Amino acid sequence: MAASASDALGLYISVPFCRSKCTYCNFASGVYPASEHASYVDRLIEDLRSSGKWAARMGVELPRRVDTIYLGGGTPSLLAPELLARIFAAVRGEFDLEPEAEITVECAPGLLADATLAALTAPGVNRVSLGVQSFIDREAAVSGRLHNRAVVLEDLRRLRSAGIHNLNIDLIAGLAGQTFASWEESLAVLVDSGVPHASAYMLEVDQDSRLGREVLAHGVRYQAGLVPADDAIAQMYSMAIDKLKQSGLEQYEISNFCQPGMESRHNLRYWQRRPYLGVGLDASSMLWAADSLGSIRILRSTTSDDLKAYLAGSEPAEMAWLTPAQQHEEAWFLGLRLNAGVEVAALEREFGCAMVAPALEAVERLAEAGLIVSDGKTVRLTAQGQLLSNDVFQKFLGLDADEDKVCLDTR
């Protein structure tokens, strides 16, 4: 089930400010003057303080108990230390933070000043995600990153000296100029760094990034002509799975790898459909309400991705109650992202056999195509299925319930 009455809340806090805009980035972030930072934090705090009233107005549960916080963006570490302190003070003023809560902040290597590091450790930040993307200096530079390998390794040392050992490094397969040899070198440096968590993404080519638009237009800016072919990117991704596994970083989600017990608890919340509140630019929330019969209703909302509109106090840009059919679809394509897969009996208990039956027929077809494996109890993506995951997920959309299907055993 997506949530229960005893579930804690996750907080996502979006900070969209960057020192420079990376060529591949398709997020709602950008280079804004520092003068915007204080007014933005004012708005964040206003959102935090009004979240209870908003939830009551929408008729959804907003747990006060919080067990994960994630500051993403953007580069949250660009905020002045006093602004970071204000955000964390507002969180603690509105919510009950669990003693063992996971508190993650995304940081850009080379932009982590001593005062900023102190401002992170003071409120209890215990996890940092570094947007490295490549340990090859020329690849990082072409992509718009402002660091080199030496800077990353020094930041890792400083973070550990400050007491933060739960560290993640992001890498991207498919950057302009990347080769199999350079990708293998990046993976080797990551492994040697000893971080307990890594994220390896395949380059997204779409209209929402400068590099993506250039690749689609067959242009040459941002060295778009040096972006590896799709097949090569897929091979690099497969190489990452093997290399990281050999080093003790097991894949637990399509793009995420960790040592035992070091999964990102906040990100797991998304894939497990547990409640979270997002504040800030282009931030999403998933909250729920239970009716008198115990049925769960899910509300998804997303704030504006326009900074001026957000600062002006606009209402969420998108907001919708998910139908049971939509919830069922999400249970499949979010659950299949995890290597643990989807438990069929759990879905039948939550949604009923009539709704799940057509999905199981899709599973059979996908299994014949080698994209899914199922033992009758659990359904998982194969290695090929992970490479073609978006195509797989499409097969679980728009399925009509089989009203003649009756559960014989829901244990």
Q: What is the pLDDT of residues 49-89, one digit of tens each?
A: 999 999 999 999 999 999 999 999 889 999 999 999 999 99
Tokens of 224: 């778009």
pLDDT of residue 158: 98
Determine, yes or no, domain membership for 63.
Answer: yes
DSSP β-bridge partners for residue 378: 343
113 shares a domain with 222? yes
Q: What is the pLDDT of residues 211-254, one digit of tens each?
A: 778 878 778 787 777 788 999 999 999 999 999 999 999 999 99
Q: What is the mean pLDDT of residues 29-54?
A: 89
| 251: alpha, beta or left? (left if phi > 0; alpha if psi -120 to 50) | beta
Q: What is the pLDDT of residues 118-161, one digit of tens each?
A: 999 999 999 999 999 999 999 998 888 888 999 999 999 999 99
- Residue 30, SS3 per DSSP: strand
258 shares a domain with 154? yes
pLDDT of residue 47: 95
- Residue 200, SS3 per DSSP: strand
Q: Which domain holds residue 141?
A: 9-269
pLDDT beyond 90 at 12: yes
Distance CA 281, CA 304 (A): 6
pLDDT beyond 80 at 403: no
Determine, yes or no, domain membership for 390.
Answer: yes
Distance CA 11, CA 165 (A): 21
What is the largest distance, in Å, between two alpha-carbon atoms of the chain? 64
DSSP β-bridge partners for residue 197: 168, 258
pLDDT of residue 410: 45
* Last residue of one domain, picked from the residues 269, 289, 310: 269
DSSP β-bridge partners for residue 70: 12, 104
pLDDT beyond 50 at 386: yes
Determine, yes or no, domain membership for 3.
Answer: no
The CATH number linked to 380 is 1.10.10.920
pLDDT beyond 60 at 5: no
Distance CA 232, CA 11 (A): 37
Determine, yes or no, domain membership for 148.
Answer: yes
Residue pointed to by tokens 């992170």: 120
How far apart, in Å, are the Cα atoms of 334 and each of 2, 183, 203, 290? 11, 28, 20, 22
- Residue 23: pLDDT band with limits 50, 70, 90: confident
* Last residue of one domain, picked from the residues 247, 269, 291: 269
Domain count for the chain: 2
- Residue 356 CB neighbour total at 10 angstroms: 27
Determine, yes or no, domain membership for 291.
Answer: no
Q: Is the peptide bond before 352 cis (omega within 30 degrees of 0)?
A: no
